[in-house]
Chains A and B, each alone.
Chain A
Amino acid sequence: MVFVSDVLPYGISCKNTKEDKRNIEEPISEKNLRGSHEGFIEILDTNLSMLRRRIHSEKLKFKAVTIGATTRQTVVIAYIEGIANHEIVDALFDKISRVEIDGAPTIGYIEQLIISHPNSIFPQYMTTERPDKAVSALLEGRILILQEGSPIVLIAPVTFISFFQTVDDYSKMWIHGSFLRLIRLFGALVIAIYLPALYIALTSFHYYAVPLDLLITLAESRSKVPFPPIIEIFILEITVEMIREAAIRLPTYIGTAITLFAGLIVGEAAVQAGIVSNLVIVIVGATAIASYVIPSDDMSLAIRILRFIFTIAAAIFGIVGIVSITVLTIAHLIRLDSLGQPYFSPFSPRVIDDLKDTVLRLPLKFMKKRPKTARPQDDIRGENF
């Protein structure tokens, strides 16, 4: 289609082909209750048009670059001019332009090639399939990376706490949102990481810290088990991880049967056979459920790996091992940066203003200023372009 006018000294042409594409439907991995049920799809132009539909501003800019020696794919950086920091945008654009690869089937390839700390377990870019999450990121001054053929977009720069925030937190009332966030943080950070390690530390090294009422029941259930606590926990944890991996690949009708089978096996039968004690079943079950509350899949994997490290440290050194590895993890988080911005802000380089949106979600009227993570050029949300 070509558009020519006698007022303009140039003409505009654009594609108008009808392509076979997937319908816009809710992403499977990011469901929610109170937001839109749309998700990005594989066609880059449709994704860009979804963004344009939500931000009716000429300040929304897209910068395109072609990468991939064989596939010649388009990668687009989206940002809102005047809010996003242009130094960060330029730095990111440079990084992507310099990527040398023959083709990127998914956006993960690009993510791994531009990441600053490839050996860290913590993700430094957030992924999302939802346009409303992408839009709120843009409004905070963050930058999106979209790739042709990928329904997943990357958001940068991000902080540690943003992996625990969902769109639902903001669309509900502030007390509800804060409550959900507290449960999520407590479950993900305390239970999912520390519970098995604490169990091992107490039963292997510090028996005197076990509460008196629990003493007899714990000893009774453990006396039937021939293995030391660390082996017990490992048997169950590895079983749970294998079930998890298997569940992704199975079609749904077999999936339900597998979970039933797994529940039976890992549950009563193992206890009856004397392989594990019933307290351990409760612990591993609670841990598994707690690790599902993390909205981001990358962070969930990071937490799972961290849990293994903590369990091994507790088995070797008891509670001192747990404390040491905690310190090491926090030290690593302090050191990490996402696109140059400190990862553990607002806790570590303490930014008091940004603390309003971390553990609790304070009312929207307190959120007039944008968080400092992306170093936005324009602090105040509103009419101040």
Chain B
Amino acid sequence: MGKVKKIVLFLAVLQCIIILSGCWDQKIFEETGFILSLGLELNEDGELIYSATMPVVEEEIEQDIEVLYTTAPLLREARDKIRNTSGKRVEGGKTQQILFSRELAEKGIDEILDVFLRSPENPVLANITVVDGSPLEMLQLSLGYKDKTRIGFYISNLIEQTRKRTSTPETRIYDLAVLLHCKTIDPIATYMKYDEQKVEILGTALFKEDKMVGDLNVTDTGILHALMGKKTNFSYYYREKSNDIKRGIAFLFRKLTGSSKEK
């Protein structure tokens, strides 16, 4: 081949390499806003209020999380609407927990779960929690928590610690999805409440199919775990109603075994 031809070929190959890159899918790290907590509830018209918190990493901004919220009939629509307000590319790949309001949970969470399962980058490892109240209010109140870490990490650590003491069950998205589809086991989720100073774990939210029907407190959650055959590590407090010196006894359960018979 002549020299000119060789050079032209080389340049063409080089150009191909530069064009043929995965640039379409590039998500540069610092331009991405990670949603750590996602809150979902219904407003009076039955539309979805979608709220999210993203940690702020620029040092010049004082507040350490960014709370975004919007209203839309569909989940995906809400996510796109939120993208119109934040300067970062909002991505849900690192979501740690999804907070449902009690009303929304009582109406049914099947459709919403479906959306999370389809997209490949959404983590199926996010915890599912039900909040007694409004998640948006909780996220906004958390801006005032002076002695706690960012709300996303705070809730995530809280759930993890209470899970170890079996005050609350482990339910991730895929757990719930599996249980919903199999129609033989009823799903459960974490249940919590909030106020101006803190977030508190209340116990378990009980579902029938995809609608919430009741809740258990922390002690009963421990017994529920024992019934399910999982290891337990909880205390059961017994109060005496009389005015004796010993006011109560605490039983510490380390490991319970049980068997069940079907009739």
Contacts and interface: CB of A to CB of B under 8 A. Distances in A.
User: Do A and B contact each other directly (Cβ–Cβ < 8 Å)?
Assistant: yes
Interface of A: 202-205, 207-208, 210, 212, 215-216, 218-220, 222-223, 225, 228-229, 315-318, 320-321
Contact of B93 (A207, A220, A229): A207
A218 to B, nearest CB: 7
Given A207-B27, A207-B91, A216 B55 contact: yes
Given A207-B29, A208-B123, A219 B55 contact: yes
A330 to B, nearest CB: 22
A55 B153 CA distance: 68
A274 to B, nearest CB: 12
16 contacts: A202-B29, A203-B29, A204-B26, A204-B29, A207-B94, A208-B121, A208-B123, A219-B34, A220-B57, A220-B59, A223-B30, A225-B30, A229-B28, A315-B21, A316-B21, A316-B23
Interface in B5-45: 17, 20-23, 25-30, 32, 34
A225 B31 CA distance: 11
B132 to A, nearest CB: 26
A132 B153 CA distance: 59
Contacts of B17: 316
Contacts, number: 65
Contacts of B28: 203-204, 228-229
Interface of B: 17, 20-23, 25-30, 32, 34, 55, 57-59, 91, 93-94, 96, 121, 123, 150, 153, 156
Task: Determine the main DSSP class of A at the interface with B.
Answer: helix
Contact of A223 (B21, B25, B57, B96): B57
A222 B21 contact: no
A315 B20 CA distance: 12
A219 B29 contact: yes
A216 B57 contact: yes
A222 B123 CA distance: 24
A223 B58 contact: yes
A272 to B, nearest CB: 14
Which residue, of B29, B30, B58, has the highest number of chain A Cβ atoms within 10 A? Answer: B29
Contacts of B58: 220, 223
A318 B27 CA distance: 10
Contacts of B121: 208
A339 to B, nearest CB: 33
Question: What are the 6 tightest A-B residue pairs by CB atom distance, in nearest-first order?
Answer: A208-B93, A203-B29, A316-B21, A219-B57, A222-B30, A220-B57
B30 to A, nearest CB: 4
Contacts of B22: 205, 316-318, 320-321
A218 B29 contact: yes
A212 B29 contact: no
A352 to B, nearest CB: 40
Contacts of B34: 207, 215, 219
A207 B26 contact: no
Nearest to B29: A203
A215 B57 CA distance: 10
A320 B17 CA distance: 15
Nearest to B33: A219
Given A223-B30, A320-B22, 20 more contacts: A204-B27, A204-B29, A205-B22, A205-B26, A207-B91, A207-B94, A208-B91, A212-B94, A215-B55, A218-B29, A219-B34, A219-B55, A220-B59, A225-B30, A229-B28, A229-B29, A315-B21, A316-B20, A316-B23, A318-B25
Nearest to A208: B93
Contacts of B27: 204-205, 207
Nearest to A314: B22
Contacts of B150: 216
Contacts of B153: 212
A276 to B, nearest CB: 13
A203 B27 CA distance: 8
A317 B22 CA distance: 5
A205 B28 CA distance: 7
Which residue, of B21, B57, B93, has the highest number of chain A Cβ atoms within 10 A? Answer: B57
Contacts of A218: 29
Given A207-B91, A207-B93, A208-B121, A219 B30 contact: yes
A215 B34 CA distance: 9
Which residue, of A212, A218, A219, A229, has the highest number of chain B Cβ atoms within 10 A? Answer: A219
B204 to A, nearest CB: 25
A207 B122 CA distance: 12
